Structure 1
């Protein structure tokens, strides 16, 4: 089984970190390949970045030159684009936002999301609402760290623990990592918090493997029905 994991930004070091987390979660026989957009934001941290990154990820998948793949994992928490990718490709598409939330709902009645900047909260809340899993979300809490700040493990751990306590205080029984760059934190912080911590990258990989094993993919009845073929006429933006 081959899974392509798309980073939502152009930072290749982050793609490598995400791929390490995805491979750690993948089962025997699953190959994970990272895909970094050729253009777009170096870190997606707001509405404008998100819309640009969605177009860049769609473009990267539309022109993907690699071998055939069996599933796509979209590693942008709260980012736009998942519906477009589901329309574009013929394989299962799993977004880390909804994957993490769905698994969290199996572990407790209410979950909390710990993310990067406070300004990302509205975007994440909208993404959870669209995915149908917002009802069980107790809180979305920012750490105050930017995406690229997550490389500082000590600072990230301290900020995450402080934000996690706020989420717990709001009623969260399970915590969700609200950024793909936080992959690996469950191993570091799960015991300290006394709560289950769900990493969206690992959750999405396991769900993607399950869908492929069951022979399931995106329905073409209704929402994701294919439009007339126009994709080959798309141009690429000049930046």
Structure 2
């Protein structure tokens, strides 16, 4: 199967990082390709920028359909453009935020998202609310711009660790550019640390294997 990991922003180094992370969990017979919009914004940190990011996602799905892509992962916390992508794509579309939250819900009673920057808390809150997980998930944030993780995030290990509270049982990394924090924080905190991209890839593979895609009955009918 062929899965496209879509980065809604125009920063190619971030696309490369999430594609590399996706390949570490993909099945041997799964081909992972990256999608980066030709135009838009270098990072999605506001509702305004999210609109441009969603247009980028739609553009990449259109190209993916022409390339025979079987399924998609949207690599932006807040799942930018996911509903529109589900209407357009023939195969399944999984957002990294939903994937991370559903994974956390299976392995921990209480868990926290640490996202960045602070103004994007609302984007995480939206997905937590839609999944009905507000009683189990707390959203916290550090005031670091997305640009600071475009070439790696190891330098943020300490500030992320400081956001974890004693009652947290798992940590969700709230940005696609944080994949290299999984190992260090897992060891330091002694709890599951979840990256949404690596959580989403096996979900897409599983949906494809079952012959499942977005329901066309009502909400996600093709436009």
Q: TM-score range by the shorter chain?
A: over 0.9
Task: Please state how far the C-alpha of 1:92 moved relative to its aligned partner.
Answer: 0.5
Q: Which residue of 2 aligns with 1:58?
A: 58
Q: SS of 1:34's equivalent?
A: strand
Q: Which residue of 1 aligns with 2:87?
A: 87
* Correspondence 1:170-189 to 2 at 5 A: 171-189=167-185
Q: Which residue of 1 aligns with 2:113?
A: 113
Q: Which residue of 1 aligns with 2:13?
A: 13
Q: SS of 2:6's equivalent?
A: strand
TM-score normalized with structure 1 length: 0.88
8 Å contact kept, 1:86–1:93: yes
**Which consecutive residues of structure 1, in runs of 5 or more, have no partner in the other structure?**
228-239
Give the Cα–Cα distance (whole angstroms) in 1 for the partners of residues 93 and 111 of structure 2. Answer: 23
Q: CA RMSD in A?
A: 1.6
Aligned length: 222
Task: Please state how far the C-alpha of 1:149 moved relative to its aligned partner.
Answer: 0.8
Larger radius of gyration: 1
8 Å contact kept, 1:144–1:159: no
Q: Which residue of 1 aligns with 2:210?
A: 214
- Cα 1:219–1:135, aligned 2, differ >3 Å: closer, same or farther? farther
- Cα 1:42–1:207, aligned 2, differ >3 Å: closer, same or farther? same
8 Å contact kept, 1:78–1:128: no
Runs of 4+ in 1 over 4 A off after TM superposition: none
**Which consecutive residues of structure 2, in runs of 5 or more, have no partner in the other structure?**
none
Give the Cα–Cα distance (whole angstroms) in 2 for the partners of residues 220 and 154 of structure 1. Answer: 42
- 2:93 is aligned with 1:97: no
- 2:201 is aligned with 1:202: no
> Residue by residue, what CA displacement relative to the aligned partner does 1:158-212 show, whole Å, maximum 9, x if unpaired?
221112x2xx24x321111100100132112101101111110000001111111
Give the Cα–Cα distance (whole angstroms) in 1 for the partners of residues 111 and 222 of structure 2. Answer: 35
Q: Which residue of 1 aligns with 2:129?
A: 129
Give the Cα–Cα distance (whole angstroms) in 2 for the partners of residues 108 and 26 of structure 1. Answer: 24
